[in-house]
Amino acid sequence: MIFANRYFPATRLRRMRRDDFSRRLMREHSLTVDDLIYPVFVLEGDNREQDVKSMPGVKRQSLDRLLYTAEEAVRLGVPMLSIFPVIESGKNNEATEAYNPDGLVPTVVRALKARFPELGLMTDVALDPYTIHGQDGLIDDAGYVLNDETTAVLVKQALCHADAGADMVGPSDMMDGRIGAIRQALEEEGFIHTKLFAYSAKYASSFYGPFRDAVGSAGNLGKADKKTYQMDPANVDEAVQEVAMDLEEGADLVMIKPGMPYLDVIRRVKDTFGVPTFAYQVSGEYAMLKAAAANGWLDGDKCMMESLLAFKRAGADGILTYFALDAARLLKA
Ligand code: PBG
């Protein structure tokens, strides 16, 4: 008999994979619309809309147009927008426009909150859209970004956003001690409900290129980099230390950025602290997937959903992603 000594596997994992119902029962992680945060780029003025070339499907919009985008986010059930300004007038190296109460971000926040009170709004706290050199902070004569001087401006910026009605402020600047300084100031001014979303482990990544095009800081930054304040991509213990500091200083949520190339960091942070941990699937990750899909090399929708699910598997509680509306549409279908 040919099969007399045939070996039978004790476990056939394919048994549970065979049918759709059992695959569904086995499923460990899932993506829902509640996991999605949509970053938007806002322009000064009225009736303006521009495509971001390196991010197909992403637009810069003036407030009147952004209201339609916000309405769509609400309709789809996306919980929160993250607002990034394109500053065309008023840049200077003191970044004074960053805390102008009548500036672009506070104006947009007030208008969106008035129209869609239930839609969460996060603002970006960093000085790069407001400085002529495109760095996230104030610099000295040698071009070094000054920590404590920058933090003082970030505090003003965060208070200005909170005063306009921002639900969350998201410091993305990577100065030391800024979470504590902002938290203290928010408490002192009575903004006890304003949530602090710390970009805790933000790496000096090359995946931010399309974003810098979108907000128009790429030209200003030129060949300079952000390695004296953003993290070295080689490090992970240091990310744990950054998160520990931010939590101690009063962060409500922490973020790892970029996303897909840093899933190990998300897992490590989630396992170490067990706190709300978010990921930013950044502009370059979006651009890569879009480019491959446009060439017919990848199935865009399927790869988008797989990439977002991977964040959940890695331990993320939510994802900032330029795919938020597209993914929400697919989840609803
Ligand atoms: C700047 C900021 C950056 C991003 C968010 N906030 C770029 C940078 O640090 O140069 C990148 C987001 C993306 O690439 O999608 N404070």
State the CATH number of the domain containing residue 327: 3.20.20.70
Q: Is residue 100 situated within a structural domain?
A: yes
- Residue 145 · residue 137 · CB < 8 Å: yes
- DSSP alpha helix (H) spans, 250-299: 263-273, 283-294
The pLDDT, as a whole number, for residue 2 is: 57
The contacts of residue 295 (CB under 8 Å, 6+ apart) are: none
- Domains in the chain, number: 1
Atom number, ligand 1, closest to the C-alpha of residue 172: 16
Determine if ligand 1 sits within 6 Å of the CB of residue 172.
yes
CA distance 125 to 40: 14
Q: Give the SS3 label for residue 305.
A: helix
Is 7 inside a domain boundary?
Answer: no
pLDDT per residue, tens digit, the chain (333 aa), is: 555 678 899 999 999 999 999 999 999 999 999 999 999 999 999 999 999 999 999 999 999 999 999 999 999 999 999 999 999 999 999 999 999 999 999 999 999 999 999 999 999 999 999 999 999 999 999 999 999 999 999 999 999 999 999 999 999 999 999 999 999 999 999 999 999 999 999 999 999 999 998 998 877 888 899 999 999 999 999 999 999 999 999 999 999 999 999 999 999 999 999 999 999 999 999 999 999 999 999 999 999 999 999 999 999 999 999 999 999 999 998
CA distance 318 to 36: 6
Full domain range(s) for residue 191: 29-332
On whether residue 256 sits in a domain, the answer given is: yes
Distance CA 82, CA 224 (A): 26
Give the per-residue pLDDT at 144: 96
Q: Is the CB of 82 under 6 A from ligand 1?
A: no
123 CB near ligand 1 (under 6 Å)? no
Task: Report if residue 14 sits inside a domain.
Answer: no
251 falls within a domain: yes
**Residue 204 CA to ligand 1 centre (angstroms):** 10
**For residue 305, what are its two tokens?**
């959903």
> Could you identify the atom of ligand 1 that is nearest to the CA of residue 230?
9
Catalytic residues: 202, 257
200 C-alpha to ligand 1 centroid (Å) = 13
Is 6 contained in some domain?
no
CA 90, 121, 210 angle in degrees (round to 5)? 60
Task: Assess whether the C-beta atom of 48 lies below 6 angstroms from ligand 1.
Answer: no
- Phi and psi at 257, nearest 5°, equal -150, 135
Residue 64 Cα to ligand 1 middle (Å): 24
Residue 78 within a domain:
yes
Cα–Cα distance, 69 to 60 (Å, whole number): 11
Question: Please, which contacts does 93-96 make with residues 24 or more away whose CB atoms are closer than 8 Å?
Answer: 93/131, 93/132, 93/133, 93/138, 93/139, 94/138, 94/153, 95/127, 95/130, 95/131, 95/138, 95/153, 95/157, 96/130
- Closest alpha carbon to 268 in 242, 307, 303, 230: 242
Please choose from 40, 58, 178, 212 the residue to mutate so as to test ligand 1's pocket, defined by most ligand atoms within 8 A of CB.
212
Q: How far is the CA of 309 from the centre of ligand 1 (A)?
A: 22
- Joined together, the tokens standing for residue 233 give 């991509």
Containing H/E element for 196? strand 195-202
- Length of the chain measured in residues: 333
Ramachandran category for residue 121: left, alpha or beta (phi over 0 → left; psi -120 to 50 → alpha): beta
Amino acid 285: pLDDT? 98
Q: What angle do CA 224, 225, 229 make, to 5 degrees?
A: 135
242 is in an annotated binding site: yes
Residue in 157, 172, 255, 285 to alter for ligand 1 test, most ligand atoms within 8 A of Cβ: 172
Establish if 4 belongs to a structural domain. no
Closest to 104 measured CA to CA, from 133, 70, 61:
61
Query: Ligand 1: does its nearest atom lie under 6 Å from the Cβ of 197?
Result: no
Measured from the Cβ of residue 77, the count of other Cβ atoms closer than 10 Å reads 13
Give bridge partners of residue 202 from the DSSP assignment: 257
